[in-house]
Amino acid sequence: MQDRDGRPLGVAAIGYAFMGKAHSHAWRNVASYFDVPPFEQRVLVGRDAGQVAAAAARYGWAESSTDWRQVVQRDDIDIVDICAPGYLHAEIAIAALAAGKHVLVEKPLANTVAEAEAMVEAAQAARARGVHSMVGFNYRRIPALTLARDLIAEGRLGTVRQVRAAYLQDWLTDAEQPMSWRLRAETAGSGALGDTASHAIDQIQYLLNDRVRSVSGRVHTFVTERPGPCGPETVTVDDAAWATLDLTSGTIASLEVSRVALGRKNGLSIEIYGDRGSLLFDLETMNELRFLDGTVPAREQGFRRILVTEPEHPYLSAWWPQGHVLGWEHSFVHEIADFLGAIGANRAPVPTFETGLQVQRVLHSIVTSSAQSQATILLPPALD
């Protein structure tokens, strides 16, 4: 499956804005550092013909196109990487899977639970035919977080009781910042919740290898009006949200996200407290993991700052000698290395669309709870 008839896998990417740029970087670099099946950056797809052509040239794509429908049908395309806005995810992914293309979709999987359910259905049907799919929760591939998952899986934290997760940004602090499509529910689906809480929820479930079973939460919009071209317009998505999440194991996680937390630039912070050890992580210092081993004598206990740049650390042997820190963009390089590796081995890559749907249901339950005065909402059982 690694290539059809011996030829390299053909890749198409859809979208060339922030995420398209980041994914393109990953496609451009992955084979220099990881052993992956042969592939080619064939087509970059976007809406504006001139801009997408320029982006394709910059980022190493052989051609460009403005017609994703046509591209996902091309015989020389084996993989479709969807970096388009969330409301397009379902339609493109379902079409690509139907056409027998492996699909990678940026997170969150979709804007609604219904879309996500349809995507899962399509993914399951495709999987039965050896056609694979994955949702791009790239932070799973940050070495420090992969290491955190490993330490937890090895039992170094014992029973995890509490998790504190937050994703704080500040780019909407200024109330005079103008209205945009990202602040309208019909285009963006949600605000901080879908964009950043989705990352945090995936991390909680991933790191603990656990699933959320019930939720109490709240969404809120601090800045309810912003300047539009013809006067003030109403913001229809949240700019902050809070939740407590019960996991099936009994762990309780708290969650807080914001786009108006002045001074926090990309502050995904995760604290995990077990009865034998604890872990701390902050995306702004993403090459570090803080680990407290509760089994050493109290006299010498303390959170140790592990600089996750040793060859012993996940993904690191591919890169530089110890002490040379990696950037945020390499989470995508690792993601695509893992994705290609799974495709090459004809294994289902993770996280699956089912995982993406589960995150979507958690997000949806927070909104539901918020509408019901924060009453606790029980989730349907997870699919995977």
Instruction: List binders of a copy of itself among 199-218 (CB under 8 A).
Output: 216, 218
3-state secondary structure of 90: helix
Question: What phi and psi values does residue 129 have, to the nearest 5 degrees?
Answer: -100, 10
Cβ neighbours of 146 (radius 10 Å): 22
Cβ neighbours of 282 (radius 10 Å): 18
- Interface residues for a copy of itself in 17-36 (CB under 8 A)? 18, 21-22, 24-25, 28-29, 31-33
- What is the pattern of x (binds a copy of itself, CB under 8 A) and - over residues 332-371? -------------------------------------x--
The answer to whether 231 contacts a copy of itself (rule: CB under 8 A) is: no
The answer to whether 180 contacts a copy of itself (rule: CB under 8 A) is: no
Residue 128: exposure state from Cβ atoms within 10 A (0-12, 13-18, ≥19): exposed
Tell me whether strands 267-274 and 277-282 are parallel, antiparallel or unpaired: antiparallel
Smallest gap from Cβ 115 to a copy of itself, in A, equals 26
The answer to whether 8 contacts a copy of itself (rule: CB under 8 A) is: no
CA distances to 5, 144, 209 from 314, in Å: 33, 8, 18
Question: Which single residue is written with the structure tokens 């005079």?
Answer: 176
Smallest gap from Cβ 379 to a copy of itself, in A, equals 15
- Interface residues for a copy of itself in 51-110 (CB under 8 A)? 58-60
The answer to whether 284 contacts a copy of itself (rule: CB under 8 A) is: yes
The answer to whether 151 contacts a copy of itself (rule: CB under 8 A) is: yes
Smallest gap from Cβ 220 to a copy of itself, in A, equals 6
Stretch that binds a copy of itself, among 86-94, 132-140, 327-335, 353-361 (CB under 8 A): 327-335
The answer to whether 14 contacts a copy of itself (rule: CB under 8 A) is: no
Smallest gap from Cβ 237 to a copy of itself, in A, equals 16
Closest CA to 305 of 324, 286, 326: 286
The answer to whether 274 contacts a copy of itself (rule: CB under 8 A) is: yes
- Which residues are paired to 273 by β-bridges? 162, 278
Taking a C-beta distance cutoff of 8 angstroms, is the pair 338, 206 a contact?
Answer: no
